Every structure is written in C-alpha cells, then in structure tokens.
C-alpha cells in the first residue's frame, strides 16, 4: 500500500472515496477501500471515536443480544483468534474496547475525522464527484460515497408537549452521557419497553429510589442467561473460528446456530412444551429457532407466544402487573424479540411499578413529571426515553442527499424507501449504502450482513476501476422489482402483523408505513448478490 493512499486528505483535492460512519460498517469499508484497493479514503464520523451504536448506547444494561462469538468481524480468522470475549453476551464497554482494538490493529483511526457530522451530499455530474458538507463548514469531494451511518443511529425522542418545561433531567438511551447517570435516591421514569427498555429497567431499578416503567406495547422477552465464558469455550472458539464463520454465513439470520426443522404444529403438545422449556433455560435468541414455522404460521406462533405469556404470569407476583405485561398483542418475534437479564423479575421489587400508557396515554410532561390523559401525575426527577430510533431511513435522510439534477433522496423516498438490493438508488450514481433498507440488515446478526455489503461495494468499485468505468447506478425499473421482492418476502412471514413495529416505520409519527428490511433470509440474499456480481452487476448500469 502506498503512503499517500493511507493518508487522511482534506481541502479541495478530490478523494477516491468518502465513508460516513465509524461503526462496524464504516470501519471495515474504509479499511477495505484503502488497504484492499489502495484508494484515497476519508472517513467522517459524528461521534468522538469509533464504535457506532456502542459509542452512543451506553445506557445501564446495554449489552449485545448476539452471542459474543458471533458479534465480531469474521473477514479474517486472525482477528477472531486474537480477541477473547469475557461473557456470553458482551456489554457495551467490551464491544467499544473490541472495536478500538480492531481500529488500532487496522490503523484506521487516522483516516477518520471524528466529531464531524455530514449535513449534505450533492452529486456534481459535470465532475462526476460527490460534494460532501460537514457541520464544521468543510466541503470534501470524492468519486464514491459510501454511507455506513447505521440502521439505528437516529434517536427518536417523542414530541410530548412540555418536555422543555421539565425541571428534572431527561436522557435518550441512544445518546447516553459518557460520564453516566446517577439514579441514587431518584424518582425515575422509563418510557419504552423494547429491547433497550427491557435491558435498562432491571439495572436502573437497582439504584433508583423508585422506577416507573411506562408501557405502551407489552413485549415478549426470553432470558439471556448471560454468564462468563469458560476457558474451554474460548478455546473452542479459537480452534473453530473458520467453522463458526461458515455457519454464520450460511444461516438465515447470520447466527452461528441453525433454526430447527421441526414444525411446532406437528409436534405433540407435551414434547412442544418440553422443547420450549429447554430453549427457555438455554436462553437467548435461539428461542426463536425452536420450531421452523414460528414466523410463518400464526397458529404455530401462538404456541410460543402462550408459553412466554405463561412464564410472565408465573414470574410476576402481582396479578394485575403480570396481566399487563402478558397482554401482548402481536405474534412472537414479529417485532425484534428482546432477551433479558431479570426484566420480569424487576416488577417484583418494591421500588418498581408499571403504568399502562396504551389505554391511558402520556398527555404532557410537566415541570414536575409526567401527566397522563386521566389527569394522574407522576412526580419525577429523571425521565429515560427508551423510545427507539427513526430506524433505517432516518440516518440516511438526515444526510440531505441530492443526486442527478438536484434530485432529493427525500423526494424519491417520500412514500417509503425504494432502492435496489438495499445498496443503490436510481439517480444517485456511485452512492452506496451499507445495510440500507431493502437488505437483510436488522433481521440478521448485523456484522454478517455488514461484511457482505462492504465486500460487495468494494468488489463493485474494484470492477469499475479495472474496467475503466466511471459510474455505477441502478434504474427505476430495478428498484421497482426489488421493492416488490422486499414486500413479497415480508408478506410471506408474520412480521408485518406487528403493526406498531419500527420495521414498518410505525414508531415515528408521519413516517410512511413500509416494511423496510429484506426478510428473505441472509443466505438467500447473499446468493442474489453473488449472481448479480457474476452477471456483470446485473441491475446496475455501468458507464465509461
Ligand atoms: C442498543 C443496541 C443494541 C444492539 N444489539 C445488537 C445485537 O445484539 N446484534 C446485532 O446484530 N445488532 C445489534 N444492534 C444493531 C447495531 O446497530 C449493529 O449491530 C451494528 O453496530 C451497526 O453497525 P453500523 O456501523 O452499521 O452502524 P452504527 O454502529 O450505528 O454506526 C453508524 C455511525 O455513523 C455515524 N453517523 C450517522 N450519521 C452520520 C452523519 N450524518 N455524519 C457523520 N456520522 C454519522 C454515527 O454516529 C455512528 O457512529 C444493536 C443496536 C442497538 C441500538
Ligand atoms: N442487545 C440488543 O440486541 C439490543 C438492545 C437494544 C436495542 N437493540 C436494537 O435496537 C432496536 C430498537 O430497540 P429500542 O428498544 O431502543 O426501541 P423500540 O424497539 O422501538 O422500542 C421503543 C419503545 O418505546 C415505546 N415508545 C415509543 N414512543 C413512545 C411514546 N410516545 N409513548 C410511549 N411509549 C413510546 C415503544 O412503544 P410501541 O411499541 O408502542 O411503539 C417501545 O416500547 C431493537 O429492536 C434492536 O434491533 C438491540
């Protein structure tokens, strides 16, 4: 690799590529373009360091739901052998440490500008470059623009009247202060019972004087059964890195385990219960794979749903609270299924209460707390918004991207995201998105789909350069076909039945209701992309 190819560049010089984001995706993309292709690449990152999700989400209890031996880069088994995880599910501190370890190992930090948010990107057709503007007032230009801005990086703080009048403190879990928050002796509200809220409530409850959880939609959860990893398991991982990598790449969800091929409805009741019981005790996301038909057949799904609801009723001592927690209105795993460390048990504590804001919504935030529609006021010192993200399209639309002839991405996506393979939008040449809507992304263990996209993009750019091609761009017709395929894949599952899911954009008022990730399975998606590449990037127009 040449020295100039490794140097961070600024000013009016035209770079080969700009990569936005320094999470799993941006780090690997920058490395792949710089060291794999020898390009001049500049990375831009809003945060003060690498880590992406894990740089921002430092809330109490923030921990991965993917098991540690599957939540890392696998593009080289060397990295897998050099790093050792300490627990079955790594916590946020350990993941940030891991990503810093990788960044140092690959020597990529010096190619990123941190504390730099991209606020605009415009395609200049005459020069065939992307002009990228930052919140520092800088403009950078590059031939290729890769957005690696994450699917879950735009915090969603609901617009509840009166928030600005609140005399206490409030925080969103996805923008958690790095110095931490002291809950000791405080009256704390947590709004939200998604994966985040289910992780944070048990930890907040340990020190708060009182924690009130405001629940709009009751949620399933299965025990994580987290534990320190044994030396023998760590040894197994080191010795079987290649096998683990292959299994992850071959599975539908990018996990190192495979879903069972048994059907819930063809399994006798007693055996079915026994299998659920084993899966419950083993813990983790594998519960979803107990039977093959859980996400395809509502009656099959009901058996899992009922099993978990019965567990909730058995764990939670107060019958009213138990009923509220078990009053779940969507199929199991139709929303991202959380896993927990003592979530339902938390409601047995004297200092924890549950408030139903489905039937009695939050009306306002007052100087002293939260007021519900029926006039009840909860006096508070701290409000924690575990209210999720403007997922998938949010971070991309905030880049204010304009393509050919000033075409705005926001305009093209007015009715919901449209693209080809989740990678490209017609009218935006040489713009690539890592894990964009329309790709398996959030339905997959993300490092697996990130690596696949990063490698596809790097290979496509290598192909262009080798063949003297200047632009790569998809077409309206290809987008239309792909959007139809994304809808078909979603409708073959129970996923769209969770009508309040962020997969559908339903958590953000006014957002178009479109099922965003590709539900056809990661292993199938990988094959589709391989065929596209093998057929001279079918569906993309390559121009000299
Ligand atoms: C709390 C939490 C837990 C999760 N747990 C799991 C899990 O167990 N398993 C799993 O597979 N996935 C999990 N995810 C999903 C997680 O987002 C991915 O696993 C992965 O970290 C995504 O990496 P990324 O690089 O694509 O995006 P991110 O990690 O989100 O990185 C994107 C980066 O882009 C930056 N950025 C965004 N916009 C701009 C801009 N305009 N200018 C400059 N920089 C910008 C952001 O600051 C961010 O650092 C979790 C997500 C959350 C929120
Ligand atoms: N360890 C992990 O793997 C992990 C941990 C955390 C997050 N994640 C990822 O991040 C995704 C997002 O998780 P998340 O929990 O942060 O967000 P989320 O799943 O969108 O959950 C947000 C919660 O806030 C509630 N809410 C939102 N606005 C509200 C309002 N105005 N009033 C009352 N309640 C409101 C939602 O209720 P409704 O359901 O009614 O909208 C929901 O309970 C996950 O699905 C997962 O992909 C992963």
Choice among 2-16, 201-215, 339-353 with the minimum mean pLDDT = 2-16
State if residue 133 touches ligand 1 by the CB under 6 angstroms criterion. no
> Quick one: pLDDT at residue 257?
87
State if residue 446 touches ligand 2 by the CB under 6 angstroms criterion. no
Atom number of ligand 2 nearest to Cα 158: 31
Residue 197 backbone phi and psi in degrees, to 5: -60, -35
Atom number of ligand 1 nearest to Cα 89: 8
Residue with tokens 């030396």: 231
User: Which numbered ligand comes closest to the C-alpha of 255?
Assistant: 1
Atom number of ligand 1 nearest to Cα 446: 11
Rounded mean pLDDT of 174-181?
A: 97
**479/491 Cα distance (integer angstroms):** 18
> Quick one: pLDDT at residue 11?
52
Q: Which residues contact 47 (CB under 8 A, 6 or more apart)?
A: 22, 55, 56, 114, 115
Query: Which residue's CA lies nearest to atom 45 of ligand 2?
Result: 336
**485/525 Cα distance (integer angstroms):** 11
- Please say if the pLDDT value at position 39 is more than 90: yes
- Please say if the pLDDT value at position 119 is more than 80: yes
Residue 26 backbone phi and psi in degrees, to 5: -65, -35
Token digits of residue 5: 């190819």
State if residue 213 touches ligand 2 by the CB under 6 angstroms criterion. no
User: Which numbered ligand comes closest to the C-alpha of 504?
Assistant: 2
Residue with tokens 């262009």: 464
State if residue 44 touches ligand 1 by the CB under 6 angstroms criterion. yes
Among 20, 23, 89, which is best to mutate for testing ligand 1, by the most ligand atoms less than 8 A from CB? 23
> Quick one: pLDDT at residue 3?
35
State if residue 363 touches ligand 2 by the CB under 6 angstroms criterion. no
> Quick one: pLDDT at residue 357?
98
> Quick one: pLDDT at residue 2?
34
Taking only the tens place, the pLDDT of each residue in 179-211 is 999 999 999 999 999 999 999 999 999 999 999
State if residue 25 touches ligand 1 by the CB under 6 angstroms criterion. yes
Query: Which residue's CA lies nearest to atom 19 of ligand 1?
Result: 446
Q: Which residues contact 244 (CB under 8 A, 6 or more apart)?
A: 69, 70, 74, 80, 237, 256
State if residue 339 touches ligand 2 by the CB under 6 angstroms criterion. no
Among 89, 195, 359, which is best to mutate for testing ligand 2, by the most ligand atoms less than 8 A from CB? 195
State if residue 454 touches ligand 1 by the CB under 6 angstroms criterion. no
State if residue 152 touches ligand 2 by the CB under 6 angstroms criterion. yes
To the nearest whole percent, how much of the chain has pLDDT over 90? 97
State if residue 339 touches ligand 1 by the CB under 6 angstroms criterion. no
> Quick one: pLDDT at residue 13?
84
Going from the Cα of 542 to the center of ligand 2, the distance in angstroms, rounded, reads 40
Rounded mean pLDDT of 439-461?
A: 98
Look at residues 59, 156, 161, 193 and name the one whose alpha carbon lies nearest to residue 370: 161
Q: What is the pTM of this model?
A: 0.97
Query: Which residue's CA lies nearest to atom 36 of ligand 2?
Result: 192
**221/337 Cα distance (integer angstroms):** 6
State if residue 52 touches ligand 1 by the CB under 6 angstroms criterion. yes
Going from the Cα of 23 to the center of ligand 1, the distance in angstroms, rounded, reads 6
Query: Which residue's CA lies nearest to atom 4 of ligand 2?
Result: 195
Look at residues 337, 440, 343, 477 and name the one whose alpha carbon lies nearest to residue 60: 343
Token digits of residue 36: 């794999």
Going from the Cα of 217 to the center of ligand 2, the distance in angstroms, rounded, reads 10
Look at residues 382, 389, 362 and name the one whose alpha carbon lies nearest to residue 205: 382
Token digits of residue 159: 């617009």
Query: Which residue's CA lies nearest to atom 27 of ligand 1?
Result: 150
| Cβ atoms within 10 Å, residue 278 | 11
State if residue 217 touches ligand 2 by the CB under 6 angstroms criterion. yes
Taking only the tens place, the pLDDT of each residue in 62-111 is 999 999 999 999 999 999 999 999 999 999 999 999 999 999 999 999 99
Query: Which residue's CA lies nearest to atom 38 of ligand 2?
Result: 217
User: Which numbered ligand comes closest to the C-alpha of 360?
Assistant: 2
State if residue 150 touches ligand 1 by the CB under 6 angstroms criterion. yes
Rounded mean pLDDT of 251-260?
A: 91
State if residue 507 touches ligand 2 by the CB under 6 angstroms criterion. yes
Among 26, 50, 120, 153, which is best to mutate for testing ligand 1, by the most ligand atoms less than 8 A from CB? 153
- Please say if the pLDDT value at position 237 is more than 70: yes
Rounded mean pLDDT of 230-253?
A: 95
Among 54, 194, 507, which is best to mutate for testing ligand 2, by the most ligand atoms less than 8 A from CB? 194
State if residue 29 touches ligand 1 by the CB under 6 angstroms criterion. no
**307/220 Cα distance (integer angstroms):** 10
Going from the Cα of 481 to the center of ligand 2, the distance in angstroms, rounded, reads 31
Counts for the chain of helices (H) and strands (E), in that order: 17, 20
Helix then strand then coil, in percent of the chain rounded to 5, is 40, 20, 45
Residue 267 backbone phi and psi in degrees, to 5: -105, 130
State if residue 390 touches ligand 1 by the CB under 6 angstroms criterion. no
State if residue 193 touches ligand 2 by the CB under 6 angstroms criterion. yes
Per the prediction, the chain carries an average pLDDT of 96
């Amino acid at each position: 690799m040449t020295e100039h190819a490794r140097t961070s560049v600024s000013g009016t010089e035209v770079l080969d590529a700009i990569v936005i984001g320094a999470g799993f995706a941006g780090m690997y993309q920058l490395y792949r373009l710089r060291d794999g292709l020898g390009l001049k690449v500049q990375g831009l990152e809003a945060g003060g360091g690498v880590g992406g999700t894990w740089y921002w989400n430092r809330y109490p209890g923030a921990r991965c739901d993917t098991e540690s031996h599957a939540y890392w880069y696998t593009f080289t088994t060397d990295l897998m052998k050099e790093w050792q995880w300490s627990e079955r599910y790594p916590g946020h501190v350990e993941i940030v440490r891991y990503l810093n370890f990788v960044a140092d190992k690959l020597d990529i930090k010096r190619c990123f500008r941190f504390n730099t948010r991209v606020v605009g990107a415009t395609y200049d057709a005459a020069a065939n470059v992307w002009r990228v503007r930052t919140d520092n007032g800088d403009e950078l230009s590059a031939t290729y623009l890769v957005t690696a801005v994450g699917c879950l990086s735009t915090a969603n703080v609901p617009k509840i009247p009166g928030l600005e009048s609140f005399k206490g403190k409030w925080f969103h879990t996805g923008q958690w202060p790095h110095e931490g928050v002291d809950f000791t002796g405080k009256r704390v509200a947590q709004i939200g019972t998604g994966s985040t809220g289910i992780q944070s409530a048990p930890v907040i409850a340990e020190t708060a004087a009182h924690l009130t959880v405001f629940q709009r939609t009751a949620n399933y959860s299965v025990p994580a059964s987290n534990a320190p990893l044994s030396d023998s398991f760590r040894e197994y991982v080191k010795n079987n890195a290649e096998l683990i990598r292959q299994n992850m790449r071959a599975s539908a969800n990018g996990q190192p385990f495979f879903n069972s091929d048994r059907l819930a409805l063809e399994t006798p009741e007693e055996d079915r219960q026994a299998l659920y019981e084993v899966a419950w005790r083993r813990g983790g996301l594998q519960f979803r794979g107990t039977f093959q038909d859980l996400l395809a057949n509502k009656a099959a799904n009901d058996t899992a749903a009922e099993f978990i609801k019965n567990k909730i009723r058995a764990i939670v001592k107060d019958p009213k609270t138990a009923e509220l927690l078990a009053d779940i209105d969507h199929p199991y795993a139709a929303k991202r299924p959380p896993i927990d460390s003592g979530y339902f048990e938390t409601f047995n504590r004297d200092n924890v209460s549950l408030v139903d804001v489905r039937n009695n919504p939050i009306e306002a935030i007052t100087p002293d707390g939260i007021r519900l529609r029926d006039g009840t006021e909860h006096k508070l010192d701290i409000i924690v918004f575990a209210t999720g993200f403007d997922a998938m399209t949010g971070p991309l639309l905030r880049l204010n991207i304009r393509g050919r002839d000033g075409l705005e991405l926001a305009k093209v996506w007015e009715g919901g995201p449209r693209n080809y393979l989740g990678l490209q939008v017609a009218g935006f040449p040489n713009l690539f998105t890592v894990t964009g809507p329309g790709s398996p992304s959030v339905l997959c263990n993300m490092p697996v789909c990130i690596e696949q996209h990063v490698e596809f993009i790097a290979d496509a750019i290598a192909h262009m350069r080798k063949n003297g091609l200047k632009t790569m761009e998809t077409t309206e017709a290809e987008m239309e076909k792909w959007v139809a395929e994304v809808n078909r894949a979603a409708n073959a599952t129970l996923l769209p039945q969770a009508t309040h899911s962020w997969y559908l954009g339903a958590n953000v008022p006014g957002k178009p209701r479109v099922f965003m990730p590709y539900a056809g399975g990661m292993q199938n998606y990988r094959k589709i992309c391989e065929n596209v590449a093998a057929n001279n990037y079918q569906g993309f127009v390559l121009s000299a």
